[in-house]
Protein backbone atom coordinates (compact mmCIF):
# COMPACT_ATOMS: atom_id res chain seq x y z
CA UNK A 1 0.00 0.00 0.00
CA UNK A 2 1.32 3.43 -0.85
CA UNK A 3 1.79 6.21 1.60
CA UNK A 4 0.09 9.54 0.89
CA UNK A 5 3.39 11.36 1.22
CA UNK A 6 4.93 9.76 -1.86
CA UNK A 7 5.50 12.15 -4.75
CA UNK A 8 4.72 9.61 -7.45
CA UNK A 9 1.04 9.02 -8.19
CA UNK A 10 -0.36 6.47 -10.58
CA UNK A 11 -2.38 7.38 -13.61
CA UNK A 12 -5.50 5.99 -11.91
CA UNK A 13 -5.03 8.26 -8.89
CA UNK A 14 -4.46 11.25 -11.15
CA UNK A 15 -7.59 10.55 -13.21
CA UNK A 16 -9.68 9.95 -10.09
CA UNK A 17 -8.54 13.25 -8.59
CA UNK A 18 -9.06 15.13 -11.83
CA UNK A 19 -12.56 13.66 -12.20
CA UNK A 20 -13.40 14.53 -8.60
CA UNK A 21 -12.37 18.16 -8.98
CA UNK A 22 -14.04 18.45 -12.39
CA UNK A 23 -17.31 17.19 -10.91
CA UNK A 24 -16.98 19.58 -7.99
CA UNK A 25 -16.36 22.47 -10.38
CA UNK A 26 -19.35 21.47 -12.51
CA UNK A 27 -21.63 21.36 -9.46
CA UNK A 28 -20.36 24.77 -8.36
CA UNK A 29 -20.87 26.26 -11.83
CA UNK A 30 -24.42 24.90 -12.04
CA UNK A 31 -25.22 26.32 -8.60
CA UNK A 32 -23.85 29.72 -9.58
CA UNK A 33 -25.86 29.65 -12.83
CA UNK A 34 -29.07 28.84 -10.96
CA UNK A 35 -28.43 31.61 -8.47
CA UNK A 36 -27.76 34.09 -11.28
CA UNK A 37 -30.96 33.01 -13.05
CA UNK A 38 -32.97 33.50 -9.87
CA UNK A 39 -31.55 36.97 -9.35
CA UNK A 40 -32.21 37.90 -12.99
CA UNK A 41 -35.84 36.75 -12.77
CA UNK A 42 -36.36 38.68 -9.55
CA UNK A 43 -34.94 41.85 -11.09
CA UNK A 44 -37.22 41.51 -14.13
CA UNK A 45 -40.26 41.05 -11.88
CA UNK A 46 -41.02 37.41 -12.63
CA UNK A 47 -42.30 35.01 -10.00
CA UNK A 48 -39.69 32.44 -9.05
CA UNK A 49 -42.07 30.24 -7.05
CA UNK A 50 -44.61 29.53 -9.82
CA UNK A 51 -47.27 31.66 -8.14
CA UNK A 52 -47.38 29.78 -4.85
CA UNK A 53 -47.08 32.84 -2.65
CA UNK A 54 -48.14 31.44 0.73
CA UNK A 55 -44.95 29.41 1.20
CA UNK A 56 -42.58 31.72 -0.69
CA UNK A 57 -39.53 32.87 1.25
CA UNK A 58 -39.56 36.38 -0.21
CA UNK A 59 -43.29 37.09 0.12
CA UNK A 60 -42.71 40.00 2.49
CA UNK A 61 -40.43 41.80 0.01
CA UNK A 62 -42.18 40.87 -3.24
CA UNK A 63 -43.95 43.63 -5.20
CA UNK A 64 -45.72 41.46 -7.77
CA UNK A 65 -49.52 41.85 -7.90
CA UNK A 66 -50.15 38.24 -6.93
CA UNK A 67 -47.89 38.59 -3.88
CA UNK A 68 -49.67 41.77 -2.80
CA UNK A 69 -53.00 39.93 -2.99
CA UNK A 70 -51.56 37.00 -1.05
CA UNK A 71 -50.27 39.28 1.72
CA UNK A 72 -53.66 40.95 1.98
CA UNK A 73 -55.51 37.64 2.17
CA UNK A 74 -53.07 36.21 4.73
CA UNK A 75 -53.46 39.24 7.01
CA UNK A 76 -57.21 39.37 6.51
CA UNK A 77 -57.15 42.91 5.12
CA UNK A 78 -59.52 42.08 2.27
CA UNK A 79 -62.29 40.58 4.41
CA UNK A 80 -64.06 43.91 4.69
Q: What is the pLDDT along the chain (80 residues), one digit of tens a residue?
A: 556 555 667 888 999 999 999 999 999 999 999 999 888 877 777 777 776 777 777 777 777 777 787 778 777 755 55
pLDDT of 25: 97
Number of H helices, E strands in the chain: 2, 0
**pTM, rounded to two decimals:** 0.55
Listing DSSP states for 11-32 in one string gives HHHHHHHHHHHHHHHHHHHHHH
pLDDT of 45: 74
Amino acid sequence: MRKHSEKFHSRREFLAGASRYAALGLIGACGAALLAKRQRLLQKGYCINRGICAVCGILDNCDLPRAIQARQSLTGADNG
